[in-house]
């Protein structure tokens, strides 16, 4: 048999599955079996991997050879000897590749470089206007990404994937926004193709709230299989984790909470005939409009948050009422999906406990007891880096869902 090694890369630019032939152990799920264990960051000996995977020693050895040759696994010292030469240990190497993670909002963008375990190596938050259009905005954030690479002494070839979140609906399979309401000029723009002019790496795009859901599920709620993450900011949306998997729906529009009609609440300041979509009554701009009508000088979500933190009673009450309106919609969602946890994020949720309190008040009162007796409604703990952490999670999930050694196969060339 020839000892030559051939590398065939998939032609689909969004595909992470690269086929390598002539490398021992690179086919099938075997490399995954070994790497999935090592990704918990606990070093193991080859003997321990044999026991935990149920594979033969020669098979584990062959698969470790592949992973070590592409840098995904490295030596980790020696284990304690029970007599004779101490056995060598190996561990996952998260520095084998970098993810460029980009979280775009209406008025800002956060760009970060992370390793393969989602540790942030460098990041930058930029003021921008999403309405400027795709090319100016993407050029700005990709320029920031290049600066971050230089700052950590790495190059474009180290980037194994790019994850991008945008504040609008996305056709995830193609990475194209679809009629996004606050993103003029972005409709059906090919974001992955534009990014690949700068970086030779797979590019994945999703809406910002799905990335928030991935960040929460990979972080504080990693043990929860049924999780609903709601973002209340300039818009309102939900990320749905069901059975441990992000649910995007048939065309990627799952979680469009903001365009559900709000059931009327008896104590609502709105008249019963005033039936509107949730974003029209509970988003940051909607709360700002209510406060302007009361005589306050406020126009944005940030202004609302600033007033609440300054102790303004009218702003506090308006945010709590927005929480009740969100809760009126979520009560039906809870009955339908039965999540174990609802996480509230976005700029308005960062104003304090008032939004969460309003949601709890209505959800616990209007959903069926079986769906709420163990339900937790909590604020997000992922902070302002949640979007980039979710972008990294999106990329690494895709990376490690196939044979991960193949993505880095070009290093063998």
What's the pLDDT band for 250 if we cut at 50, 70, 90? confident
Does 56 fall in a domain? yes
Does 212 fall in a domain? no
- Containing domain of residue 121, as a range? 97-207+387-401
- Residue 25 confidence (pLDDT): 35
Name the helix (H) or strand (E) containing 399.
Answer: helix 386-401
- CA 365, CA 229: separation in Å to the nearest integer? 20
- Residue 404 confidence (pLDDT): 59
Write b or e for each residue in 284-308: b if 16 or more Cβ atoms lie within 10 A of its Cβ, otherwise e. bbbbbebbeeeebebeebbbbbebb
User: Do 81 and 104 fall into the same domain?
Assistant: no
User: Do 230 and 376 fall into the same domain?
Assistant: yes
Does 1 fall in a domain? no
Query: Residue range 134-161: average pLDDT?
Result: 96
- Residue 382 confidence (pLDDT): 81
Query: Residue range 337-358: average pLDDT?
Result: 95
Beta strand 98-104 with 236-242: parallel, antiparallel or unpaired?
unpaired
What percentage of the chain's residues is helix, strand, coil (to nearest 5)?
40, 20, 40
User: Do 326 and 231 fall into the same domain?
Assistant: yes
Query: Percent of the chain, pLDDT > 90?
Result: 70
CATH code, domain with 29: 1.10.10.10
User: Do 240 and 338 fall into the same domain?
Assistant: yes
What value does the mean pLDDT of the chain take? 87
Residue 22 has pLDDT above 60, yes or no: no
Residue 5 has pLDDT above 50, yes or no: no
User: Do 91 and 103 fall into the same domain?
Assistant: no
User: Do 243 and 176 fall into the same domain?
Assistant: no
Does 158 fall in a domain? yes
Does 214 fall in a domain? no
Looking at per-residue confidence, does 254 or 411 come out higher? 254
pLDDT in tens, 155-203: 999 999 999 999 999 999 999 999 998 899 999 999 999 999 999 999 9
From residue 249, how far is each of 78, 171, 210 by CA, in Å? 48, 10, 12
CATH code, domain with 331: 3.30.420.40
User: Do 288 and 395 fall into the same domain?
Assistant: no
Q: At 279, list the tokens.
A: 């974003």
Residue 118 has pLDDT above 80, yes or no: yes
- CA 103, CA 111: separation in Å to the nearest integer? 6
User: Do 254 and 369 fall into the same domain?
Assistant: yes
Q: Which of 75-84, 123-132, 317-326 is predicted least confidently?
A: 75-84
User: Do 234 and 308 fall into the same domain?
Assistant: yes
User: Do 104 and 190 fall into the same domain?
Assistant: yes
Does 40 fall in a domain? yes
Q: At 224, list the tokens.
A: 């929860």
User: Do 195 and 147 fall into the same domain?
Assistant: yes
User: Do 30 and 134 fall into the same domain?
Assistant: no
Does 195 fall in a domain? yes
Residue 411 has pLDDT above 70, yes or no: no
The structural domain count of the chain equals 3
Does 213 fall in a domain? no
């Amino acid at each position: 048999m020839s000892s030559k090694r051939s590398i065939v890369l998939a032609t689909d630019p969004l595909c992470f599955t690269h086929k390598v032939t002539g490398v021992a152990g690179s086919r099938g799920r075997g490399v995954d079996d070994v790497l999935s264990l090592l990704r918990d960051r606990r070093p193991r000996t080859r003997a321990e991997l044999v026991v935990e995977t149920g594979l033969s020693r020669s098979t584990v050895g062959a698969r470790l050879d592949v992973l070590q040759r592409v840098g995904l696994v490295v030596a980790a010292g020696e284990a304690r000897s029970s007599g004779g030469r101490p056995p060598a240990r190996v561990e996952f190497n998260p520095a084998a590749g970098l993810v460029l993670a980009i979280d775009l909002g209406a008025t800002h963008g956060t760009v970060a470089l992370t390793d393969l375990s989602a540790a942030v190596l460098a990041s930058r938050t930029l003021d921008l206007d999403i309405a400027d259009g795709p090319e100016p905005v993407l050029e700005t954030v990709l320029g920031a990404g290049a600066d971050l690479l230089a700052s950590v002494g790495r190059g474009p070839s180290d980037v194994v994937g790019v994850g991008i979140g945008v504040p609008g609906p996305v056709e995830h399979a193609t990475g194209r926004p679809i009629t996004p309401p606050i993103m003029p000029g972005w409709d059906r723009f090919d974001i992955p193709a534009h990014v690949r002019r700068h970086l030779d790496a797979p590019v994945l795009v999703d809406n910002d709230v799905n990335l928030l859901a991935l960040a929460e599920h990979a972080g504080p709620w990693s043990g929860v299989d049924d999780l609903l993450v709601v973002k209340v900011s300039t818009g309102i949306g939900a990320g749905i984790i069901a059975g441990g998997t992000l649910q995007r729906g048939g065309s990627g529009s799952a979680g469009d909470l903001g365009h559900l009609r709000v059931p009327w609440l008896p104590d609502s300041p709105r008249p019963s005939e005033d039936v509107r979509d949730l974003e029209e009554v509970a988003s940051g701009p909607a709360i700002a409009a209510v406060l302007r009508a009361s005589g306050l000088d406020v126009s944005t979500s940030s202004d609302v948050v600033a007033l609440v933190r300054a102790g303004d009673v009218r702003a506090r009450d308006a945010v709590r009422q927005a929480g009740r309106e969100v809760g009126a919609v979520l009560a039906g969602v809870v009955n339908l999906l039965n999540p174990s946890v609802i996480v509230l994020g976005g700029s308005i949720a960062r104003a304090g406990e008032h939004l969460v309190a309003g949601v709890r008040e209505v959800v616990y009162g209007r959903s069926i007891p079986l769906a709420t007796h163990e339900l937790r409604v909590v604020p997000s703990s992922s902070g302002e880096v949640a979007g980039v952490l979710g972008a990294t999670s999106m990329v690494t999930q895709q990376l490690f869902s196939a044979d991960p050694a193949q993505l880095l196969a070009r290093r063998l060339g």
